[in-house]
Structure 1
Amino acid sequence: MTSFIDLVKVRSSIRTYKDTQVERDKIITILEAGRIAPTAANKQPNTFMVLQNEHLHYLNDVCQSHGAPLAIIICADKNIAWTRPFDHHQMIDIDATIATDHMMLAAEDLGLSSCWITYFDPQKLIKNFNIPDHIIPVNILVIGYATEKHSRNHQQIRKPLQDCITFPSDFII
């Protein structure tokens, strides 16, 4: 079993996939990872639309699915999501994003690759899949077996850890 930090370090966005269907048991495991993701105030507003086969055609009209055989549209119900009372900020994006991250890492752990997509036309997506007004599409996760190798080298493309950390004493008041 790969350690969590090694899993996170090896994962990268893949944009070319084999024409091989993702097995049902793996899809269920990925969806379970999203289902159990934490949500603000445990409201659990997330819903996952699973697309395969002919349904992917309608997705290609709104974003680049990179030929993946599986896509999951991660949505959140704005009627359920928790709202912070101080500034009335609703946690839809945060809840859906945590679920997306869980599913992305579950896919990687299962030997699959993925690409997290936020560059999509939400109005076309809503129309193409008849999504109700209270359901907000937040992310799309395309998943499949990669035809390319992971190329991420965290030492070269990520800021060093010391550039990401601040302590209260570092802030100037």
Structure 2
Amino acid sequence: MNFQQLVTERFSVRSFKPAMVPDVLLHQVLEAGRLAPSACNNQPWAFVVIDAPEVLAKIHAAYPREWFAKTRQVIAVCGNHDQSWRRSYDGKDHCDIDVAIAVDHMTLMAADLGLGTCWVCHFNAQLVHDALSLPAAWEAMVLLPIGYPDVDGQPVKKRKPFDEVVFRNSFK
């Protein structure tokens, strides 16, 4: 599909079919994240594919929602603040921004492949850190369940009107 159609039709999926995503498709999604731009090309990210039932159980416990507990594959997107670029004027750390760009690339690739995803950021990060045996410098930032959508039709996206979010030359 073309890019305009892709960004218009992509939506957060919270119901997945039981079929596992084949590794060849997972690889394409992960490669899209790997190729994402980052500040000064530091690439302060790592992607952990979670599909082992014992590890998934721990990840599900970190975000105890009924729909999430049914997911069979999750990508934990992790960032390392020690590796990220910092703006010299004020020290702003760009790790979160870089990780968000990578996740966005992955969600768009997944949608282009007929897969669904849903950004999950409200979870117990310490439980995920421990479950994945992440090194101390690494932070689990996004849990990205992935699979084949099990939904009828696309939900209506609620978006602010163009004129409420786009300005020219000043914020007025």
Q: Tell me if both proteins adopt one fold, taking TM over 0.5 as the criterion.
A: yes
1:130-145 alignment, distance < 5 Å: 130-145=133-148
Which residue does the alignment assign to 1:78? 81
* Alpha-carbon separation, structure 2, partners of 1:61 and 1:170: 42
Using structure 1 for the length normalisation, give the TM-score. Answer: 0.91
Which residue does the alignment assign to 2:16? 17
Cα pair distance change 1:170/1:42, threshold 3 Å: closer
1:1-173 alignment, distance < 5 Å: 2-54=1-53, 55-63=55-63, 64=65, 65-154=68-157, 157-169=158-170, 171=172
Aligned residue for 1:104, secondary structure, equals helix
Runs of 4+ in 1 over 6 A off after TM superposition: none
* Alpha-carbon separation, structure 2, partners of 1:13 and 1:149: 13
Deviations 1:93-144 (A, max 9, x none): 0010100000011010001111110010111111222111101111111100
* Alpha-carbon separation, structure 1, partners of 2:142 and 2:95: 11
Instruction: Tell me, yes or no, if the aligned pair for 1:15 and 1:66 is still in contact at 8 Å.
Output: no
Cα pair distance change 1:117/1:170, threshold 3 Å: closer
Give aligned pairs, total: 168
More displaced 10-residue stretch of structure 1: 61-70 or 105-114: 61-70
Cα pair distance change 1:141/1:125, threshold 3 Å: same
Query: What code does the residue aligned with 1:98 have?
Result: I
Point out where structure 2 has 5 or more consecutive residues left out of the alignment: none
Point out where structure 1 has 5 or more consecutive residues left out of the alignment: none
Using structure 2 for the length normalisation, give the TM-score. Answer: 0.92
Q: CA RMSD in A?
A: 1.4
* Alpha-carbon separation, structure 2, partners of 1:69 and 1:104: 17
Instruction: Tell me, yes or no, if the aligned pair for 1:59 and 1:125 is still in contact at 8 Å.
Output: yes
